[in-house]
Amino acid sequence: MTTAYVDLQALRRNYQRLQDRTYDRCKLMAVVKADGYGHGMLAVAGALQDVGADWFGVGTVAEGRRLRLHGITGRIVVLLAGCNAEVSELALYKLEPVVSDGVQLAYLLSQVPEELAIHLKVDCGMGRLGFDPQEVVGVCRKLASFPLVLASLMAHFPVADTDIALSLEQEGVFRQVIKDVRGLGLTPMVHMANSAAFLSGIAFLDMVRLGLALYGYAPGEQVAGAEKVVLEPVMRVTSRVLQVKAVPAGTGISYGLSQKTERDSILAVIDIGYADGFPRALSGCGKVIVGGEFAKVIGRVCMNMTVVDVTDIDLVKCGDEVVVLGRQGEKQISATDIATWAGTINYEILCTLGNLNPREYV
């Protein structure tokens, strides 16, 4: 059966190495949304809490509640609180919503007042969630008469992996907002960096919000300082050989018979498909490792199986382990490799492989 193995020691080592790269008073928020990028949010948060993590970023209120009930005691920031979050529930579980526009703020203020820490998000050129920079001072003034506590001001980078010059300009926009808010006598924490910015060494401010790097990856090949931190991939995914068969040259393979064998071949049918997070875009081009060697996908990836060419590999048999992500012997496949073959990003590969398969912790 296909299984995602999650190495919590590797995760902790990544956390500590990343923490070592921050300034003394710079906090590290462990971003664990999307069930810990496929690694299992509860296990990830628990493992990181053991090594001192005290800020966590989740997507939803439901995720925040699960973390609290699981014994996470640190600050929990709900990145996508939206207009459904009940103040009473946020207060009960001590969850801190990110507030990103006037409609959401009015919604929170319309409920039974409770002391609540909130985080104001500013859109400094991301083109997604957040107040316009020029609105922020007015919003902060308004907050003064309500029991909401402005815990932090935050912004987000759209291109920290590809365009440092533009990212620095956007950081400049954020710094001006910070200055204006401090002019009101307020001193919220301020934070902007994600993994790409952090690895590039920009915008550390009071906190960095790291997801991908914790799980052992850099967001893009071209992230400037990525090679300066040793990051270990945390997830390994294995599958099994279901059947091995010899076929003559010219045999059409899998749905659509989109590819034919070019020579007399030995093929292995393996127990993973697009419903298990092995992208259909790997049809005819992806690779796995079996018998310590790379085996190429031939024909279309199916819902729960895929055919690979093992003609050049010794003695592959039914039941053999197939490594989809990770190392076997000398060979290795990273989430970035798979993403490149499939035309997507390593984030998506981790989320889908991790969240669509049973996980085991090692």
Catalytic residues: 33, 255
Decide if residue 219 touches ligand PLP (CB under 6 A): yes
Chain position carrying tokens 């790269």: 21
User: Whole-angstrom Cα distance, residue 125 to residue 133?
Assistant: 10
Q: Which residue is nearest to ligand PLP (CB)?
A: 211
CB of 212 to ligand PLP, least distance (A): 4
How far is 125 from 123, CA to CA, in rounded Å? Answer: 6
Closest separation between CB of residue 61 and ligand PLP, Å? Answer: 15
Backbone angles phi, psi at 279, to 5 degrees: -60, 140
Binds ligand PLP by CB under 6 A, chosen from 39, 209, 300, 359: 209
Residue of 132, 121, 115, 123 lying closest to 188 (CA atoms) = 121
Does the footprint of ligand PLP cover residue 167 (CB under 6 A)? no
| Shorter beta-carbon distance to ligand PLP: residue 219 or 273 | 219
Q: How far is CA 56 from CA 41, 46, 66, in A?
A: 10, 11, 12
Residue type, 32: V
Q: Which residues does 89 contact at the CB level (< 8 Å), separation at least 6?
A: 61, 65, 95
Q: Does 124 bind ligand PLP (CB under 6 A)?
A: no
Residues 23-42 as x/- pattern, contact with ligand PLP by CB under 6 A = --------x-x---------
The nearer residue to ligand PLP, 53 or 297, going by C-beta atoms, is 53
Q: With CB under 6 A as the contact rule, which of the stretches 68-76, 163-171, 206-214, 292-300 interacts with ligand PLP? A: 206-214
Question: Between 128 and 141, whose beta carbon lies closer to ligand PLP?
Answer: 128
Other beta carbons within 10 angstroms of residue 147's beta carbon come to 12
Q: Determine if 64 is a binding residue for ligand PLP (CB under 6 A).
A: no
Enumerate residues 6+ apart whose C-beta is below 8 A from 9.
none
- Which residues are registered as beta bridge partners of 268? 244, 308
Residue number, 79 or 81, with CB nearest to ligand PLP: 79
Binding ligand PLP (rule: CB under 6 A), the pick from 30, 53, 79, 122 is 79
Min dist. Cβ of residue 302 to ligand PLP (A)? 31
Helix (H) / strand (E) element for 195: namely helix 195-200
H or E stretch at 361:
strand 359-361
Query: Should residue 210 be labelled a site residue for ligand PLP when binding is judged by CB under 6 A?
Result: yes
Binding of residue 156 to ligand PLP (CB under 6 A): yes
The rounded distance, in Å, linking the Cα atoms of 296 and 274 is: 16
CA distance 153 to 174: 9
Using the minimum distance from each CB to ligand PLP, give the nearer residue, 33 or 287: 33
Structural tokens at position 67: 């973390």
We find the least distance from the C-beta atom of residue 196 to ligand PLP, in angstroms, to be: 6
Is residue 190 part of the contact set for ligand PLP (CB under 6 A)?
Answer: no
Smallest separation, CB 279 to ligand PLP (Å): 20
Q: Residue 186 CB: number of other CB atoms within 10 A? A: 16
Residue 96 identity: E
In angstroms, give the least distance from the CB of 219 to ligand PLP: 5
- Position 199 contacts ligand PLP (CB under 6 A): no
Task: Confirm or reject binding of residue 194 to ligand PLP (CB under 6 A).
Answer: yes
Give the one residue of 11, 32, 212, 268 binding ligand PLP; rule: CB under 6 A. 212
Contacts to ligand PLP by CB under 6 A: 31, 33, 79, 156, 194-196, 209-213, 219
